[in-house]
Amino acid sequence: LLPFGHQLEWLATRTTRDKKPDTTVLLDDRLLGTPVFAINRSSELVADMARTVKDSISDAIDIINDYSDAAAQRILSSEDTTDKYEDVLGTFLVKLTSRHLSVDETRAATRILHGIGDLERISDHSVNLLEAAQEMHEKHIKFTDDAQAELNVLKRAIREIVATATSAYIDENAAKAKLVEPLEAVVDDMIRELKLRHVERLRSGRCSVEHGFVFSDILTNLERIADHCSNLAICIIELKQDEYNAHEYLRRATGMSEFTEMYRAAGDRFRLPAVKAS
């Protein structure tokens, strides 16, 4: 028989073979005896969780205008998988952090624990977007051309912020994480403007109240997705600086010239179409 430590290494290696592994098997409590293997396995699982969430958001954005039962099923399946990841990882890491861990192991466990909640919430919002898409599909709701053009710009920004935040989180890349907060600020600006334009369309009779409820629901969920992406990015930045104070980071960041430059660049990339004269 292999020594116990080698048995754990063999187990950790063996369980990486399946693309969509059974997390309840992968995070066997025997890994707790060797924290380095436990952290490595947990990091692999949270990376898979992040990729699952990213794909689910992509489906959710697509399904708003192109509903399909296949995409709906993928979103629901991803939500189920994400919930399992959060439950298994959370339970396992609480046990692990009660052990004697090195500074690096503690930092890694903290990153995962902070991230799984935001990833799970992003997945929840993909399901909320699916529900909005189902309502549009069943009631034959279509947005005005202006509203659709504006929403398309916002959806592009959401794709980018989710891709950037999840990549930064998986790779623990602080430089990439710093790109997220300026983009999140641009998303907030766009959503405020879209809400104002939506009210004007309601007043002029170009949009119905029923259409407006769905449009508002979509905007709210896209805004929340960006918020959770910001949390993921801040987690990486603060842990790299050996602290975790999101409010202090945001206070400092918004006053930096680097932030301002990135904010302006993101605003240029995601400029809303001009309002047409009525």
C-alpha to C-alpha distances, 13 to 6, 8, 102, 116, nearest whole angstrom:
10, 9, 22, 23
The pLDDT tens digits for 93-149 are 999 999 989 999 999 999 999 999 999 999 999 999 999 999 999 999 999 899 999
CA angle 214, 219, 225 (to 5 degrees): 130
Percent of the chain whose pLDDT exceeds 90: 71
pTM, to two decimals: 0.85
Q: Is-contact 42 106, C-beta < 8 A? A: no
pLDDT at 250: 59
pLDDT at 16: 39
The pLDDT tens digits for 20-52 are 545 445 688 999 999 999 999 999 999 999 999
- Closest among 151, 79, 113, 125 to 224, alpha carbons compared: 125
